[in-house]
Structure 1
Amino acid sequence: MNNIILIGFMGCGKTSVGIRLSYLLKQAMTDTDRMIEKLSSMTVSEIFDKYGEEEFRSLETDCLRKLLQEPDNQIISVGGGLPMRSENRELLKQLGKVVYLRVTAPTVCERLSEDMSRPLLQGSNPEEKIRELLEKRSPIYESAADMVIDVDGKDFDEILDEIVKKMEEIKE
Structure 2
Amino acid sequence: MKNICLIGYMGSGKTTVGRLLADALSCDFEDTDEMIVEREGRPISDIFEKEGEPYFRRLETDLLNELCDKGLSKTVLSTGGGLPVAERNRPILKKIGKVVYLRAEAESLYMRVKEDKGRPLLETGDKLKKIREMLAVRGPIYEVTADFIIDTDHIDEEQTVKEIVNILKSS
Please confirm whether the aligned pair reaches a TM-score higher than 0.5, indicating the same fold: yes
Shift, 1:2, TM fit: 1.5
- Aligned twin of 2:119: 118
Instruction: For 1:111 and 1:132, locate their aligned partners in 2 and report how far apart those are by CA, in whole Å.
Output: 17
Alpha-carbon deviation of 1:60? Answer: 0.3
d(CA) in 1 for partners of 2:158 and 2:35?
26
**1:89 corresponds to:** 90
Match of 1:127 in 2: 128
| SS state at 2:155 partner | coil
TM (normalized to structure 1)?
A: 0.96
User: 2: distance between equivalents of 1:4 and 1:143?
Assistant: 16
Alpha-carbon separation, structure 2, partners of 1:169 and 1:86:
29
Aligned to 1:138: 139
Q: Distance in 2 between matches of 1:7 and 1:27?
A: 18
Return structure 1 stretches of 4+ with deviation > 4 angstroms. Answer: none
- Provide, for residues 91-124 of structure 1, a one-character-per-residue CA deviation record: whole Å limited to 9, x for no partner: 1001000000001011011111211220000112
Q: Give CA-to-partner distance per residue, 1:23-74, whole Å, 9 cap, x none.
A: 1111110000010111111211111011100010000001111111143110
Q: How do residues 22-171 of structure 1 correspond to structure 2 at under 5 angstroms?
A: 22-68=22-68, 69-170=70-171
Instruction: List alignment gaps of at least 5 residues for structure 2.
Output: none
> Unpaired segments of 5 or more residues in structure 1?
none
For residue 63 of structure 1, what is the amino acid of its counterpart?
L
Return the alpha-carbon distance in structure 2 between the equivalents of residues 14 and 51 of structure 1. 25
Q: Is the 8 A contact 2:13 2:157 kept in 1?
A: no
Cα RMSD (Å)? 1.0
Q: What percent identity do the matched residue pairs reach?
A: 46
What code does the residue aligned with 2:47 have? I
TM-score (norm 2): 0.96
Decide which moves more: 77-86 or 110-119: 110-119
Aligned to 1:19: 19
Secondary structure of the structure 1 residue equivalent to 2:61:
helix
User: 1:50, 1:157 → 2: CA distance?
Assistant: 37
Partner SS for 1:79? coil
